[in-house]
């Protein structure tokens, strides 16, 4: 059975005009999401943040949970500290030892972590599906609901429109560095926590995340995507195949002789918009200096600029890192 999809439900510009390839290209490469991914989209950085949210603080524990090599972990921690996401806190003198904690900027990533958690719960594979979350406010096992703060509707890709921001001149296009995908699944140790691996396998390098961004902006044809993100054809073909194999895109023929294909988001792919939205909000708040010129997301259902909140599926109360317990309330 082929995956389900709904075509033409991707965001368009607020006034309904279609967007030029140049503008889309500019939006994708300079978006708050692209900037956020440059800091946290790296597989190891993302796993470190996952583990710190679950209470890990110290180097050896982070190493065991992520399976990262010592040097890799050292360099990623250093970068996260330099970028103001973590800080080092001395917990022992002579010799001094440090643990890692989240700054306010790092704590702002909680909606991203929760939305990835929820996405993996729904779409992850087998034993790597995350633990149930418990909302300590109501004491029940729950799903986090990421919704519009103004109208309380659950965030769904079809209901977003965006305004491109005031500055429509081509920005500085910085093509992402090519990164080899790390195929970690086959070589992980027994202690390694594999939660989020499916998500990271899907978005796990910058080219893939740019292809996905193009899909979120409504680009469906190979040539459009190629033009928008300036990617080598062999890499684009590889990443499209990867996203099709992961069930995030579905390939549909729209023309014979020569055969031409479009790539549409499946339901699984459309659900990936939710963690991406959370990344957009975080990037906009913490990384974008000139907010006037940044892309604005409108929630079409209520007509307001999108601002999110996360509530508990069971009691409708607000969910925050301080009132979530990792594990099921129903288990012994
Ligand atoms: Zn709304
Ligand atoms: Zn609750």
Cα(18) to centroid(ligand 1), Å: 23
Residue 262 to residue 246: CA distance in whole angstroms: 16
Cα(303) to centroid(ligand 1), Å: 7
Q: Which of 108, 43, 93 is nearest to 72 (CA)?
A: 43
Cα(144) to centroid(ligand 2), Å: 9
Cα(107) to centroid(ligand 2), Å: 20
Q: Which of 116, 148, 145 is nearest to 129 (CA)?
A: 116
| Predicted confidence band of residue 180 (pLDDT cuts 50, 70, 90) | very low
Residue 104 backbone dihedrals phi, psi, to 5 degrees? -60, -40
Nearest ligand, CA of residue 299? Answer: 1
Cα(54) to centroid(ligand 1), Å: 31
Cα(326) to centroid(ligand 2), Å: 14
Q: Three-state DSSP class for 31?
A: coil
Nearest ligand, CA of residue 148? Answer: 1
**Model pLDDT, residue 29:** 83
In CATH terms, the fold of domain 21-38+111-326 is: Arc Repressor Mutant, subunit A (1.10.10)
Nearest ligand, CA of residue 320? Answer: 2
Domain ranges of the chain: 21-38+111-326
Cα(135) to centroid(ligand 2), Å: 5
pLDDT tens, residue by residue, 120-153: 989 987 666 777 899 999 999 999 999 999 999 9
pLDDT tens, residue by residue, 37-46: 888 888 899 9
Tell me the mean pLDDT in the region 302-323.
95
Q: Three-state DSSP class for 311?
A: strand
């Amino acid at each position: 059975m082929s995956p389900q999809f709904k075509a033409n439900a991707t965001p368009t510009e607020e006034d309904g005009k279609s967007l030029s390839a140049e503008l889309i290209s500019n939006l994708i490469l300079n978006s708050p999401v692209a900037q956020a991914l440059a800091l946290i989209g790296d597989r190891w950085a993302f796993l470190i943040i996952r583990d710190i949210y679950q209470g890990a603080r110290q180097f050896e524990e982070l190493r065991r949970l992520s399976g990262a090599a010592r040097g890799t972990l050292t360099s990623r921690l250093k970068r996260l500290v330099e970028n103001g996401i973590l800080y080092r806190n001395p917990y022992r003198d002579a010799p001094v030892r440090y643990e890692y904690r989240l700054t306010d900027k790092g704590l702002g990533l909680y909606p991203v972590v929760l939305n990835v958690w929820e996405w993996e719960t729904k779409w992850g594979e087998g034993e790597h599906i995350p633990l149930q979350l418990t909302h300590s406010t109501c004491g029940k096992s729950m799903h986090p609901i990421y919704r519009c703060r103004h109208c309380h509707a659950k965030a769904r890709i079809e209901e977003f429109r965006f305004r491109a921001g005031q500055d429509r001149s081509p920005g500085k296009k910085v093509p992402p560095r090519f990164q080899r995908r790390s195929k970690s699944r086959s070589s992980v140790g027994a202690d390694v926590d594999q939660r989020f691996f499916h998500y990271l396998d899907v978005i796990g390098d910058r080219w893939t995340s740019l292809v996905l961004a193009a899909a979120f902006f409504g680009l469906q044809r190979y040539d459009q995507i190629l033009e928008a993100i300036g990617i080598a054809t062999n890499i684009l073909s590889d990443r499209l195949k990867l996203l099709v194999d992961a069930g995030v895109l579905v390939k549909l023929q729209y023309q014979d002789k020569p055969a031409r294909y479009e790539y549409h988001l499946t339901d699984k792919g459309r659900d990936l918009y939710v963690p991406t939205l959370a990344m957009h909000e975080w990037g906009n708040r913490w990384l974008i200096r000139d907010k006037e010129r940044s892309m604005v997301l409108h929630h079409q259902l209520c007509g307001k600029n999108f601002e999110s909140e996360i509530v508990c599926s069971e009691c409708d109360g607000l969910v925050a890192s301080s009132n979530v317990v990792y594990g099921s309330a129903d288990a012994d």
